[in-house]
Chain A
C-alpha cells in the first residue's frame, strides 16, 4: 500500500497507513508520553496520558491509526495540562510513597511527575486501604502502587504466556490478582523479572534481588523520560 502524509506539530511526515499515531511520532523523534502502553502489547488507551489533538479532537495516540492528511498536535499547553493532571490524580489516588519503593528512579509514573515538574498534586491524598500480596516466593504484589494499567494482564495474552494475572472486582475496588497455584509452580527468576519489567510502577516486585543500581545512576535520574526519543540519549 502507498504511503500517506501525516502532519505532526506543523510538519509533514510520510508514514505507513494504519500505523498508530504514537508509533509514527516515535519514529520521527517526537515523544508522546505513555503509561498503559507497552511496546509489543496491543494498545488499549486507558490511561489517557498519550492524549493528542488529532484532527481537532482529543484522542489517544496509542490507539488511533494514522490516515492520509491527518493533523496531529502532540504538545500544546492544553494537552500538557491534561497530562500533568492525570499524573497528579494517580499520585493522589494511590499510596505512592517513593522513598520506600524499590522501583523509585526506574518508575514511569514518577518519571512523568519529574517531567511535568510536579512538586505536589493539586488534589488531596485519598490514602486508600490497600494490601500487600507477598505469598509467592518469587514476586511481591503491592496494591498500594498499582495504577491498574493492565499491562501485566494484557501481556499474558502473548501466545507463550499463560494467565498469571487477572483483574478482580469492579470500579474503585478493582485490583490485580494472581493465580497462586500457577505461579508457585511455574514462576522462576526470569519470569519474575519479566513481570516486574512489564509493570510501569512498583506494584510487581521481583523478590530476592533489588536496589542493585545506585542512586544517581538509575534510569530517570539524569535525563527525563522521553529524552531517548527526543534527543537520542540512552536511558
Chain B
C-alpha cells in the first residue's frame, strides 16, 4: 500500500503552527517514513499534483486568496484539519472583527498611522492583482467543512504528532490533557 499523502498550508497565520509541526524533533524521520508530502511549504510544492489524504490548515481566511486555497484543499484532500487558534477562531487577525470596519483598517494602515511616510497621494493599494481583503476574518470551518480541530497557539508538537499518527495508522486519537491547550 502506498503511503498516505499529506498537504499543508498557511493562510492568515504566522507559520508558527508549521514550526510546531517541525518541533517533533527526530520523529520527523519517522514522519517521512509514514507519509508523503504534496503541496506544502515544507517541500515547496506549490500546486496539488495528486489527490491527498490529509490537509493541514494553519490560519483563518482574511482575503480572497485564502478562500481560494482553502477550497482547493477541500477539493483535493479527503480529511481537513484546522490547526491552531487562527484556523479555528480567526486568531490574532480576527481582532479586527469586533471593532473596526475594513475601511478603518486600511485607512489606519496606509493613511493615518504614525509610521506612514510619503503617501501624499493618499493611495490605498487596490491593484486587481492583489487578493481582495474580506469584510472580516473567517474561521476555516465557516468557509468549508473541516473534519478535525487541533487547538493551540501554536498547538503542541505532541498534539499534532499524536493526531497525525492516529489518523495515518487508523488508531484512536490519544490526546492527553497536558497537550490540548488554547495558548
Contacts and interface: CB of A to CB of B under 8 A. Distances in A.
Nearest to B87: A120
Nearest to A227: B177
Contacts of A97: 85, 89, 91-92, 94-95
B156 to A, nearest CB: 10
A101 B98 CA distance: 16
A221 B94 CA distance: 26
Nearest to A124: B142
B149 A119 contact: yes
A119 B150 contact: yes
B98 A99 contact: no
- Greatest chain B CB density within 10 A among A100, A117, A127 is at A127
Nearest to B88: A120
A57 B65 CA distance: 52
A51 interface: no
B48 interface: no
Contact of B89 (A125, A128, A130, A131): A125
A119 B163 CA distance: 13
Interface residues of B, number: 28
Contacts of B139: 120, 125
A98 B182 contact: yes
A113 B177 contact: no
- Greatest chain A CB density within 10 A among B82, B97, B98, B151 is at B98
Interface in A92-113: 95, 97-101, 104-105, 110, 113
- Greatest chain B CB density within 10 A among A99, A130, A131 is at A99
A221 B177 CA distance: 8
- Greatest chain A CB density within 10 A among B97, B136, B181 is at B181
A220 B114 CA distance: 40
A127 B97 contact: yes
A144 interface: yes
Contacts of A222: 177-178
Nearest to B90: A125
A164 interface: no
A233 interface: no
Interface in B159-183: 175, 177-178, 180-183
A105 B136 CA distance: 28
Interface in A59-82: none
B91 A120 contact: no
A129 B177 contact: no
A187 interface: no
Given A222-B178, A224-B177, A98 B141 contact: no
Contacts of A130: 98-99
Interface of A: 95, 97-101, 104-105, 110, 113-114, 117, 119-120, 124-125, 127-131, 144, 215, 221-224
Interface of B: 82, 85, 88-92, 94-95, 97-99, 136, 139, 141-142, 148-151, 153, 175, 177-178, 180-183
Given A120-B139, A127-B136, 16 more contacts: A97-B89, A97-B94, A97-B95, A99-B85, A99-B91, A99-B183, A101-B183, A105-B181, A110-B182, A117-B180, A119-B148, A119-B150, A125-B139, A129-B98, A130-B98, A222-B178
26 contacts: A95-B95, A97-B85, A97-B95, A98-B153, A98-B182, A98-B183, A99-B153, A99-B182, A99-B183, A100-B95, A101-B183, A104-B182, A117-B175, A119-B149, A119-B180, A120-B88, A120-B149, A120-B151, A125-B89, A127-B94, A128-B98, A129-B98, A129-B99, A144-B98, A221-B178, A221-B181
